[in-house]
Structure 1
Amino acid sequence: MNKADLIEALAPRLGGRAAASAAVEAMVDVVLREVASGGSVAITGFGTFERVQRAPRTGRNPRTGEPVPIAGTTSPRFRPGSYFKDVVADPAGLPAEGSAGVRGAVTESGTG
């Protein structure tokens, strides 16, 4: 699933493609800005987006075997939450109706 597919999947739930597109764009913007500034975004049950520092290290040129210095870098990391891991390990645990991201499987009518 790519970004356009995600927007199409959200459109019926959010009242149209424009609303879904705005929601996806807003979430991506907030996550990018927060992580880029050194913060983290934790979504309970889903996971955490954060910025990590990778230390400089020495690698090897595979052709010659010569040591090659590799500079330290900053990169984003996503760590899935325990609920996300559980659902991926056992998809049968997903609720038949309603939102899978809500623990206790709340359905569209608001009951579980």
Structure 2
Amino acid sequence: MSLNKSELVSAIAAKSELTKAQAEDALNAFQEVLVESLAKGEAVKLTGLLSIERVERAARTGRNPRTGEEIQIPAGFGVKVSAGSVLKKAVSE
């Protein structure tokens, strides 16, 4: 089971006494700030909840799964998400 965006907006609106439109605006703003910060190489940390950061991936040799042929995978960036203590506790119970 997962929570889609409209369900998340409804839940945020109910918990915060915001309208659904205000909650969606806030969620969209959070998304924009998150994307902009990661694009600049800045980590986003919500203490106790989660930490999101951009990480560098070194160039490496991979293998084409269809042919088994070796291929060169260029260096690039990825995203690392780490759960904080509150989130870890919530899922362990």
TM normalised by structure 1 equals 0.73
- Mapped pair 1:74 → 2:66: no
Q: What is the aligned counterpart of 1:38 among 36, 41, 47?
A: 41
User: 1:100 — aligned with what?
Assistant: none
* More contact order relative to length (CA 8 Å, sep ≥ 6): 2
1:43-74, Cα deviation, whole Å (9 max, x unpaired): 01111111111111101123332211111111
The answer for unaligned runs of 5 or more in structure 2 is none
Q: CA deviation at 1:27?
A: 1.0
User: 2:26 — aligned with what?
Assistant: 23
Q: Percent identity?
A: 39
1:55-98, Cα deviation, whole Å (9 max, x unpaired): 111011233322111111112221111221121111xxxxxxxx
In 2: Cα distance, 1:63 partner to 1:27 partner: 40
Which protein has the bigger helix share? 2
SS in 2 for 1:76: strand
User: 1:57 — aligned with what?
Assistant: 60
The answer for unaligned runs of 5 or more in structure 1 is 91-112
Q: CA deviation at 1:33?
A: 0.7
Q: CA RMSD in A?
A: 1.3
1:8-64, Cα deviation, whole Å (9 max, x unpaired): 111122321111111111111111111111001100111111111111110112333
Which protein has the bigger strand share? 2
TM normalised by structure 2 equals 0.87
Runs (4+) of structure 1 exceeding 4 A deviation are none
Q: CA, structure 1 residues 65+57, in 2 after alignment: closer, same or farther (shift >3 Å)?
A: same
